[in-house]
Chains A and B, each alone.
Chain A
Amino acid sequence: MGGDNKYLGYLYVAPYVAGLLLFTAFPFAASFYLSFTDYDLLSTPRWTGLDNYHKLFTRDRTFDKSLKVTLLYVFMTVPIKLAFALLIAVILNYRLKAINFFRTAYYVPSILGGSIAIAVLWRYIFAQSGLVNMIIGLVGLEPINWFGDPQNALITITLLRCWQFGSAMVIFLAALQSVDKSLYEAASIDGANQWHLFRYITLPLITPVIFFNLIMQTVQAFQEFNGPYIITEGGPLKSTYLLPLYIYEKAFKSFDMGYASAIAWVLFAIIMILTLAAFWSSKKWVYYAGDKRS
């Protein structure tokens, strides 16, 4: 505020600065350092240069498998989840009377979905004689071996996370509701049909929100831990052994802190590269109001 001491603001942000240094900046730097060491918690970290990274990329077949599974999981989950969230938000946006009821109903899985209880539930409904196979049986199809077959196990986790499309949907819905209705009227008079309205008016106007959801969901998906830890325990044949699970087991089961940090940094680098690529490409497809382009 004008007239105040120009350092007064520091007083208020001081807790944040302390937390940033202690719990974010220092651990961030420390984990980079640790990734070049051999550290088993018993002795002091021993500098080993690029050994960890060299081993990761040349001799660690578990890492290869885990990386592939992680990328497959992210590229499967994020687009399906966002497409679904957008589709339902668009349907809800047609001034339906029960919009609040449906919005709540669809949002509930997102609120609960991170809970261990839901992961437990997933174990039961995808079991060999569980709910999903019973319903499949009613339709007259063969039961699916969800957890025994490496082809299917990852799909159960993808389904769990897609089931939680609600939070992305709520954000999409808010954006859709803020689109200026007069734009639709003007275009309708010019003979545009529903698809044209969506494709050439709605979609460009909500690209900032699509961008936001895309980044947040991708960063989140790369860190998926509860699903594979509880539902499939990484199996079968490591087909759901996502990188966060591998990092956890290396760090807190075999206490190989240096190696686990190296895996964490590879994962971080992948997320960073994808995020930066998204930011870079956003200049081409994200529309910001007040932009001079047309």
Chain B
Amino acid sequence: MTASFDLNPQKLLATSEPATAMEIKLRRRSRISSAMRYSVLLIFGLIMLYPLIWLIGASFKTNSEIFASPSFWPKDPTLSGYIKGWETSTPYTFGRFFWNTFLIITPKVIGTAISCTLVAYGFARFDFPGKRILFMTVIATLLLPNVVTRIPQYLLFRDIGWLDSFLPLWVPSAVAGDAFFVFMLIQFLRAIPRDMEEAARVDGANTLQTLIYIVVPMLMPAIVSVCLFQFMWTMNDFLGPLIYLSSIDKYPVSLALKLSIDTTEAFDWNQILAMSVLALAPSLTVFFIAQKYFIEGISTGGVKG
């Protein structure tokens, strides 16, 4: 203790009289710069979020007001955008399109979670001939632009008669087709110690039981974030449904929105904006709920680990 004290003359100087004045100056300077940082962050944050705030406000505006003032607050709020927009110019309401989105997302998310967990477990906990090469294909697929595989995929699904069904959107994900998730789960698994699994094996559990009762509970936060990302990506996916679905009664929300831009009369802006708000609502809701879940997942993981 004393030795380090002696070795550090600068610290001794810092406690003497003139340096205290300097310290105050430094502290004041750091307070000013932290105030500056907050203002920069606030101004940028406001600029960034204003389009979203404006969108929500504008969806309650009358059509004549939308392009009249930059304020987000509607002068005479109206629900007509929501009511008319919901009806659409097709025989279906947006309720149908939300239901379709739900039908696409649910099997896709479940299939992704199960298949990616199995595959990541296989990679992280077993040795088998050719594992290195196979793992390299995970990385390669991660970097492979979809644009090169899309046309033959379309032809393949056409030949087996899956066009205009949800199968082309479900099946590739159900066989761990999204390499990003496999990679992410492998990374998580590598960080989890194997003692518990080995103890379970000694007690006579087979590898599948070990996976279900030991690994999955510990991996849960990571699996939840896989589900979350897959939910968001599928919610936002446009090109997949655009290529594979042709009948309007199977359209998800993303395609229906594009359809309403094309078919809604030129001046019914508030209908399109209102439906855009609804299209964003599920992702926003899930994001804010899951934020909390993430923090809990990290903190309980930290306590256990």
A102 contacts which chain B residues (CB < 8 A)?
41, 45
Interface of B is mostly: helix
- Find out whether the CB atom of B122 lies under 8 angstroms from the CB atom of A11: yes
Do B152 and A30 have beta carbons less than 8 Å apart? yes
Nearest-Cβ distance from residue A145 to partner chain B, whole angstroms: 15
User: Which of A138, A251, A260, A264 has the most chain B CB atoms closer than 10 A to its own CB?
Assistant: A264
Task: Tell whether, in the assembled complex, residue A121 and residue B276 are in contact, meaning their CB atoms are under 8 Å apart.
Answer: yes
A120 to B262, CA, bound (A): 11
Within 8 A of A (CB), among B80-100: none
Mask of A101-128 contacts with B, CB within 8 angstroms, 1/0: 0101110110110111110110111010
A108 adjacent to B141 (CB under 8 Å): no
Q: What residues of chain A lie closer than 8 Å to B277, measured between beta carbons? A: 117
Q: Are B122 and A226 in contact (CB under 8 A)?
A: no
- Tell me, yes or no, whether B79 is within 8 Å of chain A by CB: no
Q: Which residues of B contact A248 (CB under 8 A)?
A: 239
The 0/1 profile, CB within 8 Å of B marked 1, for residues 165-183 of chain A is: 0000000000000000000
Please, how many residues of chain A have a CB less than 8 angstroms from a CB on the other chain? Answer: 80
Q: When the two chains form the complex, which single residue of A23, A125, A244, A252 contacts B149, counting CB atoms closer than 8 Å?
A: A23
A10 to B41, CA, bound (A): 50
A230 surroundings in chain B (CB, below 8 A): 258, 261
Is A75 part of the binding interface, using a Cβ–Cβ cutoff of 8 Å? no
Interface residues in B228-261 by Cβ distance below 8 A to A read: 232-233, 235-236, 238-239, 243, 254, 257-258, 261
Is A155 among interface residues, defined by CB-CB distance under 8 A?
A: no
Report how far A246 CA is from B290 CA in the complex, Å.
Answer: 38
Q: How far is the CA of A8 from the CA of B122 in the complex (A)?
A: 8
Does the CB pair B145–A219 fall under 8 Å? Answer: yes
| Number of B interface residues in the complex (CB < 8 A) | 83
Given A1-B207, A264-B151; A134-B69 close (CB under 8 Å): yes
**Does B284 interact with chain A (Cβ within 8 Å)?**
yes
Q: Is A209 an interface residue (CB 8 A)?
A: no
Closest beta carbon of chain B to A127's beta carbon, Å:
7
A91 in contact (CB, < 8 A): yes
User: A215 in the interface, Cβ–Cβ < 8 Å?
Assistant: yes
User: Which of A123, A129, A131, A257 has most B Cβ within 10 Å?
Assistant: A131
A-contacting 9-mer, from B16-24, B51-59, B102-110: B51-59
B49 at the binding interface (Cβ < 8 Å):
yes
A260 to B128, CA, bound (A): 39
Shortest C-beta distance, A100 to chain B (Å), equals 8
Q: Which 9 pairs show the lowest CB-CB distances between chains A and B? A: A12-B122, A9-B126, A19-B175, A27-B152, A30-B152, A117-B276, A114-B236, A9-B128, A27-B149
Kindly list 18 other residue pairs between chains A and B, CB separation below 8 angstroms, not including A20-B137, A267-B147.
A1-B126, A6-B127, A8-B207, A9-B125, A16-B175, A23-B175, A27-B151, A30-B155, A91-B40, A112-B280, A115-B280, A115-B283, A117-B279, A118-B276, A120-B257, A131-B54, A135-B70, A261-B151
Residues on A close to B: CB < 8 A? 1, 4, 6-13, 15-20, 22-24, 26-28, 30-31, 34, 88, 91-92, 94, 96, 98, 102, 104-106, 108-109, 111-112, 114-118, 120-121, 123-125, 127, 129-131, 134-135, 138, 163, 189, 215, 219, 222-223, 225-226, 229-230, 244, 247-248, 251-252, 257, 260-261, 264-265, 267-268, 271, 275
